[in-house]
Amino acid sequence: MGQEITQDDFTRQDFEVFERHLQAEMELLNHWFEGHKFASDDLQCGLELEAWLIDANGLPAPDNSLFLTTLDRQSVVPELAKFNFEFNVNPQYLRGDGLANMQAELTSTWMRCDQVAAELKHRIVTIGILPTVRDSMLCLQNMSPLRRYAALNAQVLRLRKGQPIRLTIEGQDHLSSTHTDLMLESAATSAQVHLKVPEAKAVRYYNAAVIASAVTLAVAANAPLLFGKRLWEDTRITLFEQAVDTAGPAPRVSFGPGYMQSSLLEYFQGNVRNHRVLLPAELDEPPSKLPYVRMHNGTIWSWNRPLVGFESDGQPHLRIEHRPMSASPTLADLFADTLLFLGLTHALATLPEPPEQKLSFEQAKENFYCSARYGLDAQLQWIDGASYNVSDLLLEQLLPRLSESWKRLEIDDTFAQSGGDVLAGRVQTRQNGANWQRRKFAEFHGDVQKLLMEYVQHQALGNPVHTWA
């Protein structure tokens, strides 16, 4: 969905043409899987991080056009709302100092973004949901002026037959909101980790990522507040799922269709079978780049999403996009979360007996939503058949095994140790971004502006969230 399109109004013929292209490309994709045409080199990681622009009062600043024009970096791009943008980090091999290089690149870009924002009398902040965003701010007036967003908004409402989107969330408080546009989605900002995997191991890695999601979500939770209400530890999950509800036979945003059995082709086939075309744009890339498959896949947001990408020589590769984690309190937290996902997924994917044979998909799904609601206090059913508090599971079983997993991945020892210390500190103190925000919300008697400004001060210092007062 990062690709701009040339139209935002479609005819019946546009849908028919798109579907013909889609079916032709699916035949090509099937041929690639049958012929094992995908790249099979070492594991690589990519990263996206969504962020906010805020003004001096801590309110969203709908100014990303001027900000991005002034910044002039291809790796930083607009998001749905004018007060959001996204960092993109060049992919790196996991072995050696690849992740350290990613962190150095993102740190450099962050510093430049912070400088440009300051010149515009704004600040940047990464957080799962901005505590100061108001329901009235999530409106079409604040939508980024790109055709793909206007088209996405129109087509979601078309599929809903004009029915408004109704948001209902039960947490410590109750929230209800009604919107006649897609802008609720823009309140949820996340970190997305891309893991490029060999085709022969792709099913095991995908299923492992699905199982790992409950743990990564709980540890990285950073969105307990929306419109001044105390809701889930990571309210983004239910917010995003409800905000893009097209009222179809299968949800556009979900935990996913199930474990894969023999090939990731099953996922792409399911998308064509179960989801209506949303954006039937005319695309000018050749079929060998699968533009229609990728566009259709880009309008279905599973929390773990298989993707097809391409090497510099044109050879296709397979990636797993891991989407459950909130935008992080600091870059130190972000790369600790990334290490958790990579290490845990690799550990699960390389067990002698596949863990998906021990933990049903329905139980993995139940774990996931329990983590979204309760964060580090979630109770999970694990692959050994026992039930654990997620914090105890991490301290007693997972963190000791992660070090071994990072070594097997040949990740730089110093970088891995630093990230492991952050994860251990977070679990031992029981303080992630969500817990810190809840405590400050109580301490400041619901003053979300005061909460956010203290959060921004801590984020600027760069110390991981478990050390925040």
How would DSSP label each residue in 47-116? EEEEEEEE-TTS-B---HHHHHHHH--TTEEE-SBTTEEEEEEEEEESSBTHHHHHHHHHHHHHHHHHHH
Q: Which distant-in-sequence residues (6+ apart) come within 8 Å of 272 by Cβ?
A: 22, 23, 26, 296
Backbone angles phi, psi at 322, to 5 degrees: -95, 115
Give the pLDDT score at 57: 96
411-435 pLDDT, tens per residue?
999 999 999 999 999 999 999 999 9
245-271 pLDDT, tens per residue?
998 889 999 999 999 999 999 999 999
- Cα-based angle 268, 288, 48 (whole degrees, multiple of 5): 60
Give the pLDDT score at 9: 83
Element (DSSP H or E) covering residue 28: helix 12-35
**Dihedral angle, C-alpha 251, 371, 334, 330, nearest 10 °:** 110
Structure tokens at 19: 């579907």
Radius of gyration of the chain measured on its C-alpha atoms = 21
Question: Is residue 114 a contact partner of residue 95, using CB atoms and an 8 Å limit?
Answer: no
Give the pLDDT score at 249: 87
Contacts for 401-407: CB closer than 8 Å, 24+ residues apart: 401/343, 401/347, 402/339, 402/340, 402/343, 402/344, 402/347, 404/347, 405/342, 405/343, 405/344, 405/346, 405/347, 406/339, 406/342, 406/343
Question: Rounded to an integer, what distance in angstroms lies between the CA atom of residue 285 and that of residue 165?
Answer: 34
Question: Is residue 140 a contact partner of residue 153, using CB atoms and an 8 Å limit?
Answer: yes
Which residues are bridge partners to 381 per DSSP? 387
- Cα-based angle 235, 208, 409 (whole degrees, multiple of 5): 110
How far from the centroid of its chain's Cα atoms is residue 138's Cα? 20
Q: Which distant-in-sequence residues (6+ apart) come within 8 Å of 265 by Cβ?
A: 29, 30, 33
Q: At what angle do helices 448-461 and 433-443 cross, to 10 degrees?
A: 140
Give the pLDDT score at 41: 87
| Count of other CB atoms within 10 angstroms of residue 28 | 14
The closest alpha carbon to 26, from 401, 196, 254, 277, belongs to 277
The closest alpha carbon to 186, from 231, 221, 134, 222, belongs to 134
Does residue 352 sit in helix, strand or coil?
coil
Structure tokens at 29: 């994709």
Give the pLDDT score at 8: 72
Q: At what angle do helices 361-374 and 236-243 cross, to 10 degrees?
A: 110
Give the pLDDT score at 2: 60
Structure tokens at 252: 């556009």
Does residue 188 sit in helix, strand or coil?
coil
Ranges of the chain whose pLDDT falls below 70: 1-2
Alpha helices, DSSP H, located in 226-324: 236-243, 265-274, 291-297
The closest alpha carbon to 68, from 140, 120, 138, 2, belongs to 120
Question: Rounded to an integer, what distance in angstroms lies between the CA atom of residue 461 and that of residue 465?
Answer: 11
pTM of the model: 0.97
Give the pLDDT score at 7: 74
| Alpha-carbon distance values, 444 to 9, 54, 119, 123, 133 (Å) | 47, 20, 30, 22, 17
121-156 pLDDT, tens per residue?
999 999 999 999 999 999 999 999 999 999 999 999
Question: Rounded to an integer, what distance in angstroms lies between the CA atom of residue 421 and that of residue 207?
Answer: 27
Alpha helices, DSSP H, located in 121-201: 147-159
